[in-house]
Structure 1
Amino acid sequence: MPSTTTHTDFGPHTTALTVAAAFPSSISGKAILITGVNLKGLGYATAEAFASQNAALIIIAGRTPSKLQECADALAKQYPNTKTRLLELDLGTQKSVREAAARVNSWDDVPTIDIVVNNAGIMNVPTRQLNEDGIERHFATNHIGHFLFTSLIMSKIIAAAQKPGAVKGATRVVNVSSTGANYSPIRWSDINWEKPTGTLPLEEAVKAESYIHQGAYGQSKTANSLFSLGLNERLYEKYGILSFAVHPGVIITELSREVPHDQFQAGIEMLKSRGFVFKELGAGASTSLVAATGPEVKGEDGEWDGRGVFLSDCQILENTKIWYTSWSQAEKLWAKSEELVGEKFVF
């Protein structure tokens, strides 16, 4: 089991720019795709860090073209040597995901994608809602959308790993999960949260309810982590592609846009009272940068077997639940995800 990262001095307040500066050769000249990019979020802080070390191209993906253009303009002003390309992508609908993936695959001038950071997400949807594909919105957007999109553009990721001189393990897929995964395993018999939640590890008072937004979010974050394991199982030995799941920390972003303001403020105060430390955006993006660029974490014998780890505060998080670090659960999720998108993927 991997036990250490390259920079043991990196921690909760290390910034993404600092991490990027530590690993410039892992970024310079690379084509990088980031989902969920807007100026006030982790996606932009992540893009900014990559641009600071001369990434060749940053594909910034998101739902709102005007917000993407704001990010492209800001990056161009600060880092004129890095090109950007905008990609309209709504992860909440499989139709949009397929259209966006087809667009990426049609770009002949972008033959390879070296790093993918699946950063986008939604949180705190107050009532149980299904998307147009009949899937609960947290799970549909946070996991299924990323699963389908990443799988559909996989030929370009594999092409990056097969470039002449490519280093095994340098091509990466980073899935931004959360320690919110502790809230819920995958509810195999009830992914859409229609049944009472008697087995959910939350307070007794809410167990009789069928939908709990923290649990639905947690299930989707469990899926993000298991997706990384499934990718490693299929891609590391064959192509040398690595995937990591990360917890960015507690950061105030637009992720909680669906929460009423008073409720949102009360939630912040509650977290502070429990000892949670809030991070700035740059520190929130830093763990994604470690996962995307740092030399492989090493096991006790100095070897790396391509098995995934869960990172938090730029280091390996040891205190994890078996349900989001289990290889058997990862395989079960892969099969379920293929069922939900109606397509099997063999790489």
Structure 2
Amino acid sequence: MVAGPSETTTHAEFGVRTTALTVAAAFPSAIAGKTILITGVNIKGLGFATAQAFASQKAALLILAGRTPAKLQESADTLAREYPGTKFRILELDLSSQRGARAAAATLNGWTDLPAIDILVNNAGIMNIPTRQLNEDGIERHFATNHVGHFLFTNLIMGKLIAAAQKPGAGKGATRVINVSSMGANFSPIRYSDINWEKANETIPLVEQPDYLRFSQMLGIDQDVIKADSFISMGAYGQSKTANVLFSLGLNERLYNKYGILSLGLHPGSIITELGREMDPEVWRQRTEKFKKGGMVFKNQEEGTSTTLVAAVDPALTLPTKRPLASEADLAKMGRELKGEDGEWEGRGVFLSDCQIFEDAKVWFTSWSQGEKLWAKSEELVGEKFAY
């Protein structure tokens, strides 16, 4: 099956320094009156800046979800003072376990005065856990929190998203699930044979092995050492970020043609937030300085949420390209290496960066078939199947 070419974004001039408030102001009718849920909200993070941008254009209700009720309430109170025209509700959501995701979904589904959710932004995440750790479900913590928790929570509240898509006048693609990923998705594919990073990298199937050159350059470690190693924190994080984008493809496969629900992934940029809280502070500082000296551009919170807003509301974005790959080896290539004469490649349009469709993405996280494989693995991990 070959889908038609994905359109570009509405505003080609948006880029690395564009703010979320600027993006929101460009699409007021896509935001006004909407009910929007954002995970991972605290006043110092990207979730807060995302909520601020939606509130600036008169979203009807913003549901702020996260682990710590006090931080959620602080965010809600701060936003309510600045944007009295928008209502705010908080939802305690602990994505680190399936128990936490199920509890939050049950609470939300019990809000009978809230029949529909127009946009879901899966923004929460963890990073840089220094050693291999498993959660209470026996799953590596990056993967458990960043992917499995969101996969389960999203599917359990799907009735409210479908209800939004079925409202009179709802345009196709207006109801969206946005998965905040990272350029870290380029580091590692999904290790279906070793989700928990227990085996030496060089011993697992070649198609599941990480990008050794990228790791070597980033960490300053010889590639042979990495091949003989098992757990790599940035690799485990990268696997979870690959999963975020593939989750979008799995959602599109089930929901776009039937209900008009669109799902996209994105890289917000490099932003100094609390994401590095599990690392030794001095190691985190040294690594950040190294990246800056290497030319990495760092954004502030407002710039770091602009791509989330583009993914959530730009009407020019539509179903990603679907076309078969020639071989499994193509999964390790970049999208630009597989462009057809029409400029399209497998999964083009599912991943954005700096407010535009991103071309330098490994096909292992833009492949529709990989999205299906991950969906099946995720259902296995949560012990439940989801069909729509």
Report the TM-score range of the alignment, normalised by the length of the smaller protein. over 0.9
Kindly state the Cα deviation for residue 258 of structure 1 after the two structures are TM-superposed: 0.4
What is the identity, as a one-letter code, of the residue corresponding to 1:322? Answer: V
SS of residue matched to 1:207: helix
What is the identity, as a one-letter code, of the residue corresponding to 1:140? Answer: A
SS of residue matched to 2:89: strand
- Check conservation: 2:72, 2:90, Cα contact below 8 A: yes
- Check conservation: 1:232, 1:307, Cα contact below 8 A: no
Q: For residues 110-129 of structure 1, what are the structure 2 equivalents within 5 Å?
A: 110-129=114-133
Cα distance in 2 for residues equivalent to 1:98 and 1:320: 32
SS of residue matched to 1:101: helix
Cα distance in 2 for residues equivalent to 1:61 and 1:132: 21
SS of residue matched to 1:107: coil
What is the identity, as a one-letter code, of the residue corresponding to 1:289? Answer: L
Change in Cα spacing, 1:172 to 1:148, as seen in structure 2 (3 Å) is same
Q: Percent identity?
A: 70
Cα distance in 1 for residues equivalent to 2:190 and 2:294: 26
- Check conservation: 2:317, 2:349, Cα contact below 8 A: no
Kindly state the Cα deviation for residue 187 of structure 1 after the two structures are TM-superposed: 0.6
Question: Is the counterpart of residue 146 in structure 1 residue 150 in structure 2?
Answer: yes
The aligned residue for residue 13 of structure 1 is 17
Cα distance in 1 for residues equivalent to 2:152 and 2:49: 25
Question: Is the counterpart of residue 155 in structure 1 residue 159 in structure 2?
Answer: yes
- Check conservation: 2:45, 2:273, Cα contact below 8 A: yes
Kindly state the Cα deviation for residue 274 of structure 1 after the two structures are TM-superposed: 1.8
1:190-237 Cα offsets, whole Å, 9 max, x none, are: 000000012321221322111000000000000000000011111100
The aligned residue for residue 86 of structure 2 is 82
The aligned residue for residue 288 of structure 2 is 268
The aligned residue for residue 252 of structure 1 is 272
2:354 to 294, 313, 327: 313
The aligned residue for residue 39 of structure 1 is 43
Could you tell me the TM-score, scaled by structure 2's length? 0.87
Question: Is the counterpart of residue 200 in structure 1 residue 210 in structure 2?
Answer: yes
Cα distance in 2 for residues equivalent to 1:142 and 1:326: 19
Cα distance in 2 for residues equivalent to 1:217 and 1:280: 22
Could you tell me the TM-score, scaled by structure 1's length? 0.97
Cα distance in 2 for residues equivalent to 1:66 and 1:216: 30
The aligned residue for residue 215 of structure 1 is 235
Kindly state the Cα deviation for residue 308 of structure 1 after the two structures are TM-superposed: 4.9
Moved over 4 A (4+): 298-301
Kindly state the Cα deviation for residue 296 of structure 1 after the two structures are TM-superposed: 2.6
What is the identity, as a one-letter code, of the residue corresponding to 1:169? Answer: G
Question: Is the counterpart of residue 67 in structure 1 residue 71 in structure 2?
Answer: yes
Question: Is the counterpart of residue 94 in structure 1 residue 101 in structure 2?
Answer: no
Cα distance in 2 for residues equivalent to 1:178 and 1:341: 24
The aligned residue for residue 363 of structure 2 is 322
SS of residue matched to 2:116: coil
- Check conservation: 1:232, 1:308, Cα contact below 8 A: no
What is the identity, as a one-letter code, of the residue corresponding to 2:253? Answer: E
Cα distance in 1 for residues equivalent to 2:184 and 2:20: 22
1:248-280 Cα offsets, whole Å, 9 max, x none, are: 000000011001111011111111122110000
SS of residue matched to 1:126: coil
The aligned residue for residue 329 of structure 2 is none
Kindly state the Cα deviation for residue 307 of structure 1 after the two structures are TM-superposed: 7.6
SS of residue matched to 1:224: helix
What is the identity, as a one-letter code, of the residue corresponding to 1:268? Answer: T
Cα distance in 2 for residues equivalent to 1:296 and 1:168: 11
1:227 to 234, 247, 253: 247
What is the identity, as a one-letter code, of the residue corresponding to 2:356? Answer: Q
SS of residue matched to 2:189: coil
The aligned residue for residue 54 of structure 1 is 58
Cα distance in 2 for residues equivalent to 1:307 and 1:55: 30
- Check conservation: 2:184, 2:241, Cα contact below 8 A: yes
What is the identity, as a one-letter code, of the residue corresponding to 2:384? Answer: E
Kindly state the Cα deviation for residue 297 of structure 1 after the two structures are TM-superposed: 2.6
Cα distance in 2 for residues equivalent to 1:156 and 1:145: 18
1:290 to 287, 310, 334: 310
